[in-house]
Structure 1
Amino acid sequence: MKHKVIPVLIIVVLIILLGGGYAGKYLYDKYSYSNEQADTTSYFGIEDEADVPIILQYEKTDLHARLIDGVYYMTFSDVQEYLNDRFYYGEEEEILVYTTPTAILTIGVGESTVTSTDGSSEDLGYKAAVFEGDTLYVAMDYVKKYTNYSYTAYTDPNHITMFTEFGQEVRATIKKDTKLRLRGGVKSEILVGLKKADTVVVLEKLEDWAKVVSPDGYIGYVENKFLDNIQTVDLLAPSHYAEPEYTSVKMNGKVNLVWHSIGGQAGNSTLSSAISGTTGINVISPTWFSLSDNEGGIESFAGQDYVNTAHNNGMQVWAALDNFNNSFFRDGEGNTATVLASSTSRARLIDNLMSEVRAYGIDGINIDLEFTGSSLEDITADGGEDYIEFLRELSIACRANGTVLSVDIPVPMGNSFFHRKELGVVCDYVIIMAYDEHYEGSAEAGSVASISYVEDGIKNTLEDVPADKLVNGIPFYTRIWFTSTDGTVTSQAGGMSWASEYIRANNIEMTWDQNTCQYYGTFTKSDGTKVEIWLEDAESIQTKLNVMNVNGCAGVAAWQLGYETSDIWPILETYVNN
């Protein structure tokens, strides 16, 4: 019997030992640290030898740089979006332009020497901009000459860490050598080794693991037990570039501008009679300048007697430039986009304007380039780039001459290509044309400038333009609407007296419409045509001025002189003097 028990015991011991071995292996497999190395090329998303992924603000992004001839480049579009949208590419001439408050800096694509309108030049030692295929790239070091941002490049594998914002970050010291892993857990692949005394940035601290950034830009996980001396530190923003000041020429007090449509040289003689009986006007803007060709030429109706009369009446003259009054443009031959896309045409246009300013002692220039109508190309994102570059370059000449630069733009309605924020920097005043809410050609009848349209226009513009530069444009005109029985909508526009006479002649009952803050009236003609009027008068103008006061606007601009009734001037004068 004893001889039978011994083999059984041996078998039991072997089973226990074998089970213990399996259990030990299971525990080892579960809790031991993996030595598997992650594929860092895939981790960063590297596409080829010249591809350099960018870690922005400690976040993996879709941004990629290119390493070309030992120089790091970003796409022009990424430079504009993430670093500095003041860089401008002149497609027609293949030039990269950067404009400061005092100079225009230009360098050709594929070139290394940048020239300035102040007469200086600089050899960069590298190409500032290059093409790869159809994509334009800009050297990151060239961008740094005019932008306070930082980047650090690493190789093996290629990647860049980049910072455009500088606040605070949480840092920790590594207690002893360990591994940074792709995910939290001992079985996760290894990204990179961490050495004792390495400093990491802590992005998120979990129960046992922390999401951190290694000294060379890898984002992964390390066990909390390896972290020491955790503290919040302030990041110092780079200061290699001193942002120059964009000085402005400002009025003493609020602007009270009125546009004066003169219709030609003979119209200058109407100024004295036009301003007779007005009060409070401190700026008059005659429609003097129009684009006259595609090379930057202008037609001018400027006159010295006009300037003298305005000055003698306490008014500055801000001569308006448009692109719709000259027959060359009105008949469809002219193309504003063509003018603005060429550095030569822009320079010629600016020289022509400033020559008139100096010749007649004009106080300011008012830019009213509109991008609608059959004779013009609708403005696009690219056209918007040419437009804002023209304003930047014109501002240099105006700033040097002490000339006020104002610009007329529509209210914000999906038209960000006007670059309102930049206009608020380079221009002295930004005038929003808070009218033509409903206009000739509108599919439905409606107010020219309802109070909500005005208020929204002001508030939305203030998101980009400082209040002390924002002037709100108001209408001195009313539009009378006619809706036929078949639904066709037409309209006529005229001044306040004209509209009031129409109301009297047709015995229209007018009632105050709280939604638009205008008097509204309607009647039906004998042929079934429905007539509607939203009247602009002293009361509707006053409600607009109230909104402007609440929002701290820099002043008011009115279209146009001669369309108003005499009761308008006292309320405008009160607004300006308030």
Structure 2
Amino acid sequence: MRSRRRKRRSFGPLLAVVFLLLLIAGAAAGFVIGRRYMPGKEMADKAELFHIKGSQVAILLNNELQEEKGIYEDGQVYLPISWVNEYVNERFYWDETEKLLVYALPEEIVYADESDMGEQGTLLKVKEGEAYLSLGLIMNYSDIRQQSFDTSQIKRVFIDTVWGTVKTAQVRKKSILRVKGGIKSDIITELSEKSTVQVLESMDKWSKVRTEDGYIGYVQNRRLEKEQEITPQSQFEAPVYTSISMDEKVRLGFHQVTRKEANSTLKEYAQTAEGMNVIVPTWFNVIGNDGTYTSLASRDYVEQAHDMGLKVWAMVENVSTKESVKELDTKKLMSVTSNRRKLIENLMKEADTYGFDGFNLDFESLKAEAGPHYVQFIREMSVACRKKGLVLSVDNYVPSAYTAFYNRREQGIVADYVIVMGYDEHYAGGEAGPVASLPYVEKGIADTLKEVPKEKVINSVPFYTRIWTEKDGKTTSKAYGIRDAKNWIKENNIELEWQDDLGVYYGESFNENGVQSVWMEEEKSLGLKVDLINEYDLAGAACWKLGFEDRSIWEIVSQVK
């Protein structure tokens, strides 16, 4: 047999190709993996980061970037007064009409316009209708910390209003601050070794920090050490708004005076109101947008009241005449500084002329847009009263979302007494119901005390009720004083039933007028309200109005102690 030799194949070239392909694939995979885990080197656009352009100044309030922007001019940072009012200091008041900045201190009022200079330059600037205040001016009157970076191209200012504990840490070694927590995030800046950062938020691997050179971003936790807590100390000396307080609880009666002759009823009302120590005659009715008012004041009245041991707080109001209700624009009156000054100066002359002991402000049915201007009027009125030793009391609705602009918190600082009108729960034109149920009154007191110290809160109780008539699908009502309401109940043989949940008696009658009902205010219901005043240890009680009540009602009110 012939032997055959099998020819051996060579796999070398093939293996080489396969190895090369694997090498390329490995390199590609390594490149992809490397890109995935390699720290990003892209730099963040700082102007975009702070949302600013040109000479705009970014504002960071308690480390949160604000939508509003400041401006940088003449080597100073200026912040918009609207933002300052909302977040820093509401007492800076800008008179848009007279282009005047007003600031009410306890015993003086400071004025400034665009021509007034501070240590660094002008105190304020007006741009496109908005007033801007210099940072230095804001600092002089506000309890804040600030850190500004205005020499940088990226201008920014940090405003801190919180004085609690701050957590800090030291950078272990040179590190990168990134926009977000992750190594691929864009770079904001480089952190130098041993620099200190404020730790705003800590996570598993990253922390949100604020740097010494004015940036907020994220750094890896392993780059931080020596954490500690510090408590900044304020050097600000807050102004002290002193107040006048009576030596006893206030038991106040409102005396509605609509003509001069009504002043003669003082003695009659005072004899019924045994225990009353303050009387408020409704003397000054503001009728003009320039501060014009009518006066029913009487020197004899004041002297007679003083002889009876009564303090007299003259009311200034906008509700008693058609002129004041229909023609007076409270915003136009109060938003012009010269108008406020005229009104206040004239009222102080009235106090000198008639010798009364204080003022009671009763401005009702204001629109929200008038709120800041009315509050400024109260501030400025308090300055004038404080100088003369006159009591300033302010009447307010029961707190609600619709009346928040009356700013009871500020009233509680600058005024001597804040009076809660604890009635009109149900009113003419509305649904039938009690004028002042006990839950309604208590809620009004409790909500007011969230903003005003109890030593300044007076709760006003009603000496009236409403008799409601329902006929042909319509509901109407008429206000009756307690004395007249008792007579109506007797004449109509109404049987009253106590409503424990409301704290009043209820009665109804079916007659030719329709269905008539009453939630009766009388000794028992008012006694429960007096109990609330004592329970909450308020400054006292006020009563609307004198002439509606019997002597027995004042036996109840006099229990306010």
TM over 0.5: yes
Q: 1:93 to 1:21 in 2, by over 3 A?
A: same
Which of these residues, 163, 184, 187, is aligned with residue 184 of structure 2? 187
Which of these residues, 511, 526, 535, is aligned with residue 525 of structure 1? 511
Native 8 Å contact 1:437 1:453 kept in 2: yes
- Is 1:504 the counterpart of 2:490? The answer is yes
Q: How do residues 124-163 of structure 1 correspond to structure 2 at under 5 angstroms?
A: 125-154=120-149, 155-163=152-160
Give how far 1:451 is off: 1.2
RMSD: 2.1
> What is the CA–CA distance in structure 1 between the aligned matches of 2:241 and 2:77, rounded to whole Å?
30
| 2:408 counterpart letter in structure 1 | R
Cα deviation digits, residues 231-276 of structure 1 (max 9, x gap): 1222233x2x421110001001211000111332222222112222
Q: Name 1:338's counterpart in structure 2.
A: 332
- Is 1:361 the counterpart of 2:355? The answer is yes
> What is the CA–CA distance in structure 1 between the aligned matches of 2:89 and 2:275, rounded to whole Å?
41
TM-score, length-scaled by structure 1: 0.91
Range 259-268 or range 25-34, more displaced: 25-34
Native 8 Å contact 1:297 1:352 kept in 2: no
- Is 1:429 the counterpart of 2:417? The answer is yes
Which of these residues, 26, 30, 33, is aligned with residue 36 of structure 2? 30
> What is the CA–CA distance in structure 2 between the aligned matches of 1:356 and 1:388, rounded to whole Å?
22
Which of these residues, 111, 116, 119, is aligned with residue 112 of structure 1? 116
Native 8 Å contact 1:435 1:448 kept in 2: yes
- Is 1:89 the counterpart of 2:94? The answer is yes
Native 8 Å contact 2:316 2:361 kept in 1: yes
Which of these residues, 228, 233, 236, is aligned with residue 236 of structure 1? 233
SS in 2 for 1:502: helix
Cα deviation digits, residues 56-89 of structure 1 (max 9, x gap): 2223332422223332222221111111001111
| 2:57 counterpart letter in structure 1 | V
> What is the CA–CA distance in structure 1 between the aligned matches of 2:239 and 2:267, rounded to whole Å?
43
Native 8 Å contact 1:171 1:201 kept in 2: yes
Give how far 1:95 is off: 1.1
Q: 1:520 to 1:181 in 2, by over 3 A?
A: same
Which of these residues, 188, 213, 218, is aligned with residue 215 of structure 2? 218
> What is the CA–CA distance in structure 2 between the aligned matches of 1:450 and 1:266, rounded to whole Å?
35
Which of these residues, 80, 83, 95, is aligned with residue 85 of structure 2? 80
Give how far 1:192 is off: 0.6
Give how far 1:221 is off: 1.8
Q: How do residues 281-430 of structure 1 correspond to structure 2 at under 5 angstroms?
A: 281-326=276-321, 328-329=323-324, 332-371=326-365, 378-381=366-369, 383-413=370-400, 414-430=402-418
| 2:461 counterpart letter in structure 1 | I
Range 185-194 or range 126-135, more displaced: 126-135
Q: 1:343 to 1:16 in 2, by over 3 A?
A: closer
Native 8 Å contact 1:298 1:352 kept in 2: no
> What is the CA–CA distance in structure 1 between the aligned matches of 2:541 and 2:70, rounded to whole Å?
47
Give how far 1:19 is off: 4.5
Q: How many pairs were matched up?
A: 552
> What is the CA–CA distance in structure 2 between the aligned matches of 1:141 and 1:412, rounded to whole Å?
36
Q: Name 2:530's counterpart in structure 1.
A: 545
Q: Name 2:161's counterpart in structure 1.
A: 164
> What is the CA–CA distance in structure 2 between the aligned matches of 1:276 and 1:236, rounded to whole Å?
57
SS in 2 for 1:575: coil
SS in 2 for 1:447: coil
Q: How do residues 269-280 of structure 1 correspond to structure 2 at under 5 angstroms?
A: 269-280=264-275
> What is the CA–CA distance in structure 2 between the aligned matches of 1:298 and 1:43, rounded to whole Å?
55
Cα deviation digits, residues 174-207 of structure 1 (max 9, x gap): 1211211122222222111111111112223333
Give how far 1:292 is off: 4.5
Native 8 Å contact 1:523 1:532 kept in 2: yes
SS in 2 for 1:4: coil
| Runs of 4+ with >6 A deviation | none
Which consecutive residues of structure 2, in runs of 5 or more, have no partner in the other structure?
1-6
Q: Name 2:4's counterpart in structure 1.
A: none
Point out the structure with max Rg over C-alpha: 2
Which consecutive residues of structure 1, in runs of 5 or more, have no partner in the other structure?
114-122, 372-377
| 1:325 counterpart letter in structure 2 | S
> What is the CA–CA distance in structure 1 between the aligned matches of 2:208 and 2:499, rounded to whole Å?
60
Native 8 Å contact 1:364 1:404 kept in 2: yes
| 1:362 counterpart letter in structure 2 | F
SS in 2 for 1:489: strand
Identity value in percent: 37
Native 8 Å contact 2:76 2:120 kept in 1: no
Q: Name 2:65's counterpart in structure 1.
A: 60
Q: Name 2:463's counterpart in structure 1.
A: 476
> What is the CA–CA distance in structure 2 between the aligned matches of 1:513 and 1:540, rounded to whole Å?
10
> What is the CA–CA distance in structure 2 between the aligned matches of 1:60 and 1:299, rounded to whole Å?
51
Q: 1:41 to 1:2 in 2, by over 3 A?
A: farther
Range 418-427 or range 199-208, more displaced: 199-208
> What is the CA–CA distance in structure 2 between the aligned matches of 1:206 and 1:232, rounded to whole Å?
17
> What is the CA–CA distance in structure 2 between the aligned matches of 1:564 and 1:35, rounded to whole Å?
83
| 1:488 counterpart letter in structure 2 | K
> What is the CA–CA distance in structure 2 between the aligned matches of 1:60 and 1:4, rounded to whole Å?
71
- Is 1:558 the counterpart of 2:538? The answer is no
| 2:452 counterpart letter in structure 1 | V
Give how far 1:283 is off: 0.5
Range 15-24 or range 95-104, more displaced: 15-24
| 1:457 counterpart letter in structure 2 | G
Range 304-313 or range 397-406, more displaced: 304-313
Q: 1:324 to 1:184 in 2, by over 3 A?
A: closer
> What is the CA–CA distance in structure 2 between the aligned matches of 1:205 and 1:386, rounded to whole Å?
44
Range 260-269 or range 188-197, more displaced: 260-269
Native 8 Å contact 2:371 2:406 kept in 1: yes
Native 8 Å contact 2:200 2:210 kept in 1: yes
Q: Name 2:3's counterpart in structure 1.
A: none
- Is 1:39 the counterpart of 2:45? The answer is yes
> What is the CA–CA distance in structure 2 between the aligned matches of 1:322 and 1:167, rounded to whole Å?
43
| 1:265 counterpart letter in structure 2 | K
> What is the CA–CA distance in structure 2 between the aligned matches of 1:96 and 1:265, rounded to whole Å?
40
